[in-house]
Amino acid sequence: MRRTLSALCKNEPGVLAQMAQECGKYDANILSLAAGETENPEVSRIVLRIDGDDAAIDKVERYLDSLDEIIQIDDLSRKDFVDRELVMVKVAMDREQTGQLMQIFEVFRANVVGMGQKTITVELSGDQERVDGLIQMLIPYGIKSMCRSGMIVLKRGDE
């Protein structure tokens, strides 16, 4: 089962390594991980997408919750949250296909961020379906290079 954990952590060395190790120990596969700053310079937020046995992920979550460096951990598969992911894709382009590609970018509201002689690079931020949708549309043209940020999340509402 795929689940998403969001952890607020103190900026101390070793937290990321412990997290990754613990997932390995229980055979939970890390699909994506995004670690970035928060509104507090001493605190980071790490969003982890994991695939694995439900009981195993529960164990990972309990272990992380027990660490002093972890301030709060939320299991987002059980809560209401807004998710977003950022992707950059470099796709092959020849003259005949430019129009088709531009139409795809318009439909998905993807922004062109670079252009070469034989490729065009776009960025898109959206939920998982939208990001996956764009990628599926571009595969037939030939994806030359791609970078995804991993999912980031915030709770809905005022909380």
Query: Residues interacting with a copy of itself, by CB under 8 A?
Result: 6, 11, 13-14, 16-17, 20-21, 23-24, 27, 29-39, 45, 47, 82, 84-88, 90, 113-114, 116-119, 121, 123, 125, 139, 143-150, 152-158
Those residues whose C-beta lies under 8 Å from the C-beta of residue 126, and which sit 6 or more positions away, are 84, 85, 108, 134
- For residue 124, the minimal CB distance to a copy of itself (Å) is 8
- For residue 151, the minimal CB distance to a copy of itself (Å) is 9
Q: Specify the residue, 1 or 113, whose C-beta has the smaller distance to a copy of itself.
A: 113
Those residues whose C-beta lies under 8 Å from the C-beta of residue 26, and which sit 6 or more positions away, are 52, 53, 56, 57, 59, 60
Q: Specify the residue, 103 or 145, whose C-beta has the smaller distance to a copy of itself.
A: 145
Those residues whose C-beta lies under 8 Å from the C-beta of residue 130, and which sit 6 or more positions away, are 108, 124
Asked if residue 108 lies in contact with residue 34, where contact means CB atoms within 8 angstroms, the answer is: no
- For residue 116, the minimal CB distance to a copy of itself (Å) is 4
Q: Specify the residue, 99 or 157, whose C-beta has the smaller distance to a copy of itself.
A: 157
- Rounded Cα–Cα distance for residues 34 and 85 (Å): 10
- For residue 87, the minimal CB distance to a copy of itself (Å) is 8
